[in-house]
Structure 1
Amino acid sequence: MKILVVGPSWVGDMVMSQSLYKALKQLHPQAQLDVLAPDWCRPMLERMPEVDNALRMPLGHGDLQLAVRWKLAKQLKQSHYDWAITQPNSLKAALIPWFAGIKQRTGWKGESRYGLLNDLRSNKQAFPLMVERYVSLAHPKSNMTSAEALPGYGHPALAANINNQQQALAQLKLNTQQPILALCPGAEFGPAKRWPEQHYAKVAAHWIEQCQGQAWIFGSDKDQTVGEQIIEHLPKALQSHCHNLAGKTKLAEAIDLMALAKLAISNDSGLMHIAAALQLPLIAVYGSSSPQYTPPLTDKAEILHTDIECRPCFKKTCQFGHLKCLTELAPERAISAMKNLID
């Protein structure tokens, strides 16, 4: 059997997708499993042993470009796939398997995809977690009546590339002589997910002083400024023990370097799911969002949030302008969680 999965375009969603790939390989151990994904997600696929080929999706978020999709589908048709699973809910995501003439096309109901998908699932409410919705697509529709019907499935587990890791250490002039705290202060979704930089700084200061450690800040170009702000909030004597790697690494290097950490603290973001998949002890900070839908998939996490009346609101920005769900989440709670995880 040859299986094509049209993967998601968000980093966190792609990490959670590994549970689907694990389920497919358990059910069909001899199958070839290929995943179609944008370039920024492919480093994760290359670190998932279940994936045989990480195929390049040349289009980004929101791009329709029918001619490009048609051309890619004609190329994929030469591979004679038996089954396609479309993870995104959009109509355009379902076009390529249909154009490619793949006989069985599975996915969730969304954006009038009748016909494009011929194994259409519609009972999303029976699967409250995103990972459950993903994994259920590996199983026959008739069996998938609720999340309780799902057989056991494996958590994501990314495998670091050691050669790439050592090259990144040398290039960035980093060492592992002191235990590493990974800080992930960004959130692509919006400011209502971002724990204040001064709170991150207080936790980092505790780690550096009490654990004789160092802190590495991970993120994209957009997170460089908040990384510098965290360092500025540290006492002068501790600033040399905190390294801002935001924007200095590609996702592949970030994954491999983060694997060296002893502990990670992160907003609800793609990097949170990467830290969980690297099986790091993890402190997960939730502001406007909720762990009820996309929790970190690990047994080594402490989940922190406030219980103020207006959360979770799932807004990108605070509709009241106070961000109390984040500002009132004291760094002392993270320090206490840190002690529990380390112990």
Structure 2
Amino acid sequence: MNILIRLPNWLGDVVMSTAFVNAVQQLYPDAQIDVIIKKELNGIANLISGLNKIHSFSKQEYKGLNGVYKFGKTLRIENYDLFFCLPDSLSSAVMGWATGAKKRIGFGKEGRFFLLTNSYKKPANLHRTDEYISLLEQFAGRKITERSVKLDAKEIEQQDNLVVINFNSEATSRRMPIDKGKQLIGLLTNTFKTAKFIVVGAPKEKEYVDELLSDARNDEQVKNYAGKTNLEGLCNLMASAKVVITTDSGPAHLANALGASTIVLFGAGNEFNTAPYNKQKLTVLRAGKLECEPCVRNTCKLYGIPKCMQLLDEMEIVNTLSLYLNHA
């Protein structure tokens, strides 16, 4: 059997979908399993075990619904038996339809049910990982009990004094405000004198990270890695860290899936739906002082900057980091 899975479009969602891929492998142990992933996220697919082929899709190369159809059509030669469509978009269903897969399975969103042979209702109030798996359960008529969000980075020796910091997020409502970030980094470096801190970010986040570290005094203790790693390099760096401190973002899910001790600082996002899935070595911190938390908006309409992030308890972050750093 040949199976094709259209992975989600966002980094964190791709990581959360690894449990779905693993469940498909459990149900169809003899199948060839291929995936479609956004070209920018291709490095993550390389860390998902058990895949046969990785098809990279570029929106720049295949524009609009016509481009999506053309891309899907190039995969007809693979003769797929099943196409699992994890994104809710109409375009992803068009892509599946164009592949000619015998069965095309997805949630019946955006009026796309006519493009799917098996369309199901998306369950409410589930964690994103469980939401994806529910699609497989509804199609297969079987309960999935083993759920594992996991990425396989290179075998890297953990550095006991290394802390990786990510204060970025695609949504400004989940990004650490500059002033708060500067205070936190100053407090962490002054408190943990023997620790090494690496602050990460994508190339487009370099300006933000540069400003964040503009007042950092100890160049030997704090390093700026913004724009200096690709996704696989970021994964290897996180896998080698003793602890990762991160906002609610794709890197939070990366760290958690790699088995790193992870402290996640939540603002606008709803941790019950989108927090990292693996509970071991995970601490979620939220201020919880505002009636609007969580608003799940991408921008803060009330305060301009995310006050929910500003109100995070700095000493709670310090104490949590201390527990992880001192844990064998």
Q: TM-score, normalised by structure 2?
A: 0.90
Residue type matched to 1:277 in 2? A
Residue type matched to 1:32 in 2? Q
Indicate which of 252, 256, 261 corresponds to 1:272: 252
Indicate which of 181, 184, 188 corresponds to 2:166: 184
Gaps of 5+ in 2: none
Contact map agreement 1:39 1:56 (CA 8 A) in 2: yes
Contact map agreement 1:9 1:61 (CA 8 A) in 2: no
Q: Equivalent residue for 1:327?
A: 310
Q: Equivalent residue for 1:77?
A: 76
Q: Equivalent residue for 1:261?
A: 241
Q: Equivalent residue for 1:88?
A: 87
- Pairing 1:105–2:104 present: yes
Q: How far is the alpha carbon of 1:253 from its aligned partner? A: 1.4
1:203-234: per-residue Cα shift (whole Å, max 9, x none)?
54555453611111111123213322332343
CA distance in 2 between counterparts of 1:272 and 1:157 reads 13
Q: How far is the alpha carbon of 1:335 from its aligned partner? A: 1.0
Residue type matched to 1:16 in 2? M
Q: How does 1:26-45 map to 2 (within 5 A)?
A: 26-45=26-45
Q: How does 1:1-343 map to 2 (within 5 A)?
A: 1-59=1-59, 63-66=63-66, 68-125=67-124, 128-141=126-139, 143=141, 150-161=143-154, 179-189=161-171, 191-205=172-186, 207-208=188-189, 209-210=191-192, 212-234=194-216, 236=217, 238-298=218-278, 299-307=280-288, 308-321=290-303, 323-342=306-325, 343=327
1:24-70: per-residue Cα shift (whole Å, max 9, x none)?
0111111111000111111111011132221111226995241x333
CA distance in 2 between counterparts of 1:304 and 1:62 reads 41
1:124-172: per-residue Cα shift (whole Å, max 9, x none)?
22x511111111222343747xxxxx4323332211135xx89xxxxxx
CA distance in 2 between counterparts of 1:135 and 1:112 reads 21
Secondary structure in structure 2 of the residue aligned to 1:263: strand
CA distance in 2 between counterparts of 1:232 and 1:329 reads 22
Q: How far is the alpha carbon of 1:302 from its aligned partner? A: 0.7
Number of matched residues?
A: 322
Contact map agreement 1:36 1:54 (CA 8 A) in 2: yes
Q: Structure 1 pair 277/181, CA: closer, same or farther in 2 (3 Å)?
A: same
Query: Root-mean-square deviation (CA), in Å?
Result: 2.4
Identity between Structure 1 and Structure 2 (%): 25
Contact map agreement 1:40 1:251 (CA 8 A) in 2: no
Secondary structure in structure 2 of the residue aligned to 1:34: strand
Gaps of 5+ in 1: 145-149, 167-175
CA distance in 2 between counterparts of 1:61 and 1:239 reads 42
Q: TM-score, normalised by structure 1?
A: 0.86
Q: Structure 1 pair 178/212, CA: closer, same or farther in 2 (3 Å)?
A: farther
Secondary structure in structure 2 of the residue aligned to 1:138: helix
Contact map agreement 1:207 1:214 (CA 8 A) in 2: no
